[in-house]
Structure 1
């Protein structure tokens, strides 16, 4: 096996995703991932802390793209408009890897352990988003509420987009989800 390979991380990610899809996350070992990638277990652990993190590597890039887009939104943008700019930027990253993202979503949906890790990732994104909104002058509770709403829209939109067969972009699905949220919140609550 190769001692060093410049695209080792990518090969490990592709091997893991394929094996998780074929065998299930719980039934796949690090040794199997490394073997499929043509690398050693030691190389695997140089890139990832554990087999779960293969699916979540790059979350920091997504968070940075999201917060940068929120911070650079026009000053006239409402908190929700700024947050939407952030989730649209994050959507761009996912759309670039459409087939892999769809497979990843199915793998995560099939594993309670991975679902928990996904929720942790989304909570981190919401926290960073809220902090960025506060930096734009949005009050604490309003920043947190806006961030949580935006990430809920993002989560639902990604799930729908990943399962869908339509040609709609993820940004289109985000806009549809935001329209649904607006419709729901504009209805009077009946008692």
Structure 2
């Protein structure tokens, strides 16, 4: 495997959504990863926001690792431009490999698959299965309602504030990614920037 400064798992939609700011955010995340010499780990598709973040990472000089179940190869249009494309048999294998290959996790706008992946890796952290940083990029208030509900769960006594403290929430890709990489033990500000083609 090529030497990379860090590896970030990005969860996001296989659809583009109807807000152009979602695509802008996915592009910004990919460019940031690539320009800082990092590696993207993601679901391996080339459609929607998934394809956007992968292409932006590749264009900016980063490595792209895609992990996709055989059953979704056609549905999510597997991205054969990945530096590594792993075709696995189950979603469990996919998520386990994504977690193993990553130093940190970040969720961008997405549907129930994105939410499921975010909540699972968050649950794993609260249970002590890993201690890798987790971020939530709240682009244009996309996750505002969910965050409000989670605070409702805290107020209802079914969650603790300490659990909310296990994730970083941000609205600016650069600031959030820098914090996650630093939390993971890498100094993003010390990594030389690559020019974006």
TM-score (norm 2): 0.28
State the structure with more CA Rg. Answer: 1
Give the structure with the higher percent strand.
Answer: 2
Between 1 and 2, higher relative CO (CA 8 Å, sep ≥ 6) is seen in 2
Q: Which has the higher helix share?
A: 1
What TM-score does the superposition give when structure 1 sets the normalisation length?
Answer: 0.29
